[in-house]
């Protein structure tokens, strides 16, 4: 049995494990996402085995790199992101009910001194979430927005202890290189103000932090329902950051202009319902009012990242420009 299989057996209590399809490789070949079957575990099994997905990263050898990584911000961000993902599955994921389904954690392990991680999750394909999409229709978009609304409702007011204090992979504080690379101008000058406005919002929840279409798993059986994966950048935040980024991941500029109002209304309808279901005493009109006002700030914040990371990116278009401009004008007036 190879080392990975031994680790999986040790942490999950399985008698044996059979590795299957490699879904993708991670972090310059230091990791892999792979299907596997666990044998001899007392869990909901399909036949005599439990189908799982393993997210495995081992940078312990790479860490011997003499150049050192202590000062490498992108390296540190990634290391932290895997710790955060493991923590999310261990301490938060159980709160996610059917309306914001996530994989169930079977076992997780961290190699000492940030050397690597093994996360063993139930395979969502066997729960009916076996479709992945590049192109989405209205029903798919609604299913994802409904997932986001329920996720935000579930964690409304959560302190995000041991997750990112500010969620999303583009958060300003973690992206100094991209900020430095931006050309001078109003967006660069206002980057800190935009970030502050979002962080100082009264209503905060947990944001997924990378809620693009590729991180949702769709179900043919129930097209109104999706599950989500990839919690490396989950942390405290205003839900609009997920909504704006999700819209940027699947709508053209024309469609975003056309559908913005109806999609926001759909999202807030789901959020209201999800909070009521949880007997939340939150002042919903005040929450909706604040978050609607922050929707353009969430776009501007993401555009700030894109402008430094990939200035010609297709997501920087007339829709995102116009929204960003509207935010910058507000700062100029004040
Ligand atoms: N538990 C799971 N069940 C089914 N599919 C999964 C599961 N976890 C990940 N996947 C699939 O693997 C892909 C990559 O996983 P993800 O955690 O997003 O890795 P990365 O950080 O490289 O994006 C996902 O987009 C999804 O299609
Ligand atoms: Mg992913």
| All domains of the chain in start order, with CATH | 3-127 (3.30.200.20), 138-333 (3.90.1200)
Backbone phi, psi, residue 76, to 5°: -60, -35
Ligand 1 within 6 A of 215 CB?
A: yes
The ligand minimizing its distance to the Cα of 56 is 1
Mapped onto helix, strand or coil, the DSSP state of residue 271 is: helix
Nearest to 263 by CA among 140, 103, 107, 93: 140
> From the CA of 25, how far away is ligand 2's center (Å)?
11
Query: Which segments of the chain does DSSP mark as H helices, in order?
Result: 3-12, 73-87, 138-154, 176-181, 186-199, 240-250, 253-277, 284-309, 318-333
Helix (H) or strand (E) holding 207: strand 205-207
pTM, 2 dp:
0.96
Cβ atoms of residues 220 and 130 within 8 Å? yes
* Rg of the Cα atoms in the chain: 20
85 touches ligand 1 (CB under 6 Å): no
Tokens of 72: 């490498």
- 131 Cα: distance to centroid of ligand 1 (angstroms): 12
Q: Are 302 and 237 in contact (CB under 8 A)?
A: no
Q: What is the C-alpha separation between 134 and 163, in angstroms, rounded?
A: 29
Identify the CA nearest to 303 among candidates 178, 211, 123, 158.
178
Per-residue model confidence as pLDDT tens for the chain (334 residues): 788 999 999 999 999 999 999 999 987 778 999 999 999 987 766 678 999 999 999 887 665 455 555 568 888 898 899 999 999 999 999 999 999 999 999 999 987 766 789 999 999 999 999 999 999 999 999 999 999 999 999 999 999 999 999 999 999 999 999 999 999 999 999 999 999 999 999 999 999 999 999 999 999 999 999 999 999 999 999 999 999 999 999 999 999 999 999 999 999 999 999 999 999 899 999 999 999 999 999 999 999 999 999 999 999 999 999 999 999 999 887 7
Alpha helices (H) along 155-185: 176-181
CB atoms within 10 A of CB 181: 14
CA 86 to centroid of ligand 2, rounded, Å: 14
């Amino acid at each position: 049995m190879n080392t990975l299989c031994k680790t999986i057996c040790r942490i999950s209590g399985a008698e044996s494990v059979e590795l299957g399809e490699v879904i993708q490789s991670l972090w310059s070949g230091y990791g892999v996402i792979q299907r596997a079957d666990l044998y001899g575990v007392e869990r909901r099994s399909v036949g005599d085995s439990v189908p799982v997905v393993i997210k495995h990263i081992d940078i312990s050898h790479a860490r011997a790199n003499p150049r050192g990584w202590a000062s490498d911000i992108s390296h540190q961000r990634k290391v932290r992101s895997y710790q955060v993902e493991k923590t999310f599955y261990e301490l938060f994921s159980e709160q996610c009910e059917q309306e914001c389904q996530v994989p169930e954690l079977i076992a997780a392990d961290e190699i000492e001194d940030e050397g690597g991680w093994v996360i063993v999750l139930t395979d969502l394909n066997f729960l009916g979430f076996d479709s992945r999409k590049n192109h989405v229709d209205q029903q798919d978009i609604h299913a994802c927005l409904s997932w986001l609304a329920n996720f935000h409702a579930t964690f409304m007011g959560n302190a995000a202890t041991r997750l990112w204090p500010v969620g999303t992979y583009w958060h300003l504080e973690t992206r100094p290189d991209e900020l430095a690379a931006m050309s001078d101008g109003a967006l660069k000058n206002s980057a800190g103000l935009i970030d502050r406005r979002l962080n100082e919002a009264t209503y905060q929840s947990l944001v997924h932090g990378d809620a693009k279409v590729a991180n949702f798993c769709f179900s043919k059986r129930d097209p109104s329902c999706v599950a989500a994966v990839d919690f490396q950048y989950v942390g405290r935040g205003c839900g609009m950051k997920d909504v704006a980024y999700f819209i940027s991941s699947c709508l053209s500029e024309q469609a975003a202009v056309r559908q913005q109002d109806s999609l926001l209304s759909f999202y807030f309808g789901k959020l209201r319902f999800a909070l009521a279901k949880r007997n939340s005493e939150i002042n919903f009109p005040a929450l909706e009012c604040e978050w609607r006002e922050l929707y353009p700030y969430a776009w501007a914040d993401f555009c700030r990242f894109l402008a430094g990371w990939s200035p010609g990116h297709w997501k920087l278009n007339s829709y995102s420009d116009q929204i960003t401009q509207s935010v910058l004008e507000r700062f100029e007036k004040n």
